[in-house]
């Protein structure tokens, strides 16, 4: 029986990974997972609380464990958190276990799409635009390194992006 392929979404906060991932899973009749949601399900605590109590390092350890577990599955769409690619083992794991799609979007859109949602600890201190630019400097090369496909999400709806991914990727 041929292994059912996985699709992993990477990209910055506000690129649409969690939203587009769910649409994509529906379109392809695959199971959807979101690493943040899985961490919260397993811990019974929200991301902000984990950052507060265990620091970013504690969060990253949980994120790595969850991604390792979820990427053992077959036939899933996984929306990762924006910082997951900073871990080389995670990048290698994603590359080995599925198709990686980098959802690319401008800083302006990242700011606009995250400003109402206060659940991202890294954006609660300092100017979000400045923080997102600094993160992009470090992370964009890592998104590009791990990506099999790069999709721009600036000027199309989440559903339209999901449809574009379906039409573009070679799943089998």
- Contact set with ligand S3P (CB under 6 A): 13, 17-18, 36, 47, 81-83, 120-122
**H or E element at residue 54:** helix 47-70
Q: Which does 110 bind (CB under 5 to 8 A by kind): Mg ion, ligand ADP, ligand S3P, none?
A: none
Residues 13-32 that bind ligand ADP (CB under 6 A): 13-20
Query: Rounded CA gap, 86 and 88, in Å?
Result: 6
Contact segment (CB under 5 A) with Mg ion among 9-17, 98-106, 117-125, 147-155 equals 9-17
Q: Are the C-beta atoms of residues 131 and 118 closer than 8 Å to each other?
A: no
| 83 binds ligand ADP per the rule CB under 6 A | no
Q: Which does 47 bind (CB under 5 to 8 A by kind): Mg ion, ligand ADP, ligand S3P, none?
A: ligand S3P
Report whether 126 belongs to an annotated binding site. no
Alpha helices in 71-103, H assignment, sequence order: 88-97
Task: Kindly write down the DSSP assignment for every residue of 6-24, as one continuous string.
Answer: -EEEE--TTSSHHHHHHHH
The distance of closest approach from Cβ of residue 2 to ligand S3P in the complex, given in angstroms and rounded to an integer, is 30
Sign of the alpha-carbon torsion through 39, 44, 46, 51: negative
């Amino acid at each position: 029986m041929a292994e059912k392929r996985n699709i992993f979404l990477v990209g910055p906060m506000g690129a649409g990974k969690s939203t587009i991932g769910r649409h994509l899973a529906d379109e392809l009749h695959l199971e959807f997972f979101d690493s943040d949601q899985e961490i919260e399900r397993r811990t019974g605590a929200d991301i902000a609380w984990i950052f507060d109590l265990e620091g970013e390092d504690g969060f990253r350890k949980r994120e790595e464990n969850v991604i390792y577990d979820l990427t053992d599955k077959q036939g899933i769409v996984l929306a990762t958190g924006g910082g997951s690619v900073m871990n080389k083992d995670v990048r290698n794991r994603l590359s080995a276990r599925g198709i990686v799609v980098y959802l690319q979007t401008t800083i302006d859109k990242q700011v606009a799409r995250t400003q109402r949602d206060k659940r991202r600890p890294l954006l609660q201190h300092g100017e979000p635009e400045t923080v997102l630019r600094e993160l992009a400097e470090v992370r964009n090369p890592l998104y590009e390194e791990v990506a099999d496909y790069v999709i721009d999400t600036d000027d199309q709806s989440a559903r339209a992006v999901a449809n574009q991914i379906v039409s573009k990727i070679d799943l089998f």
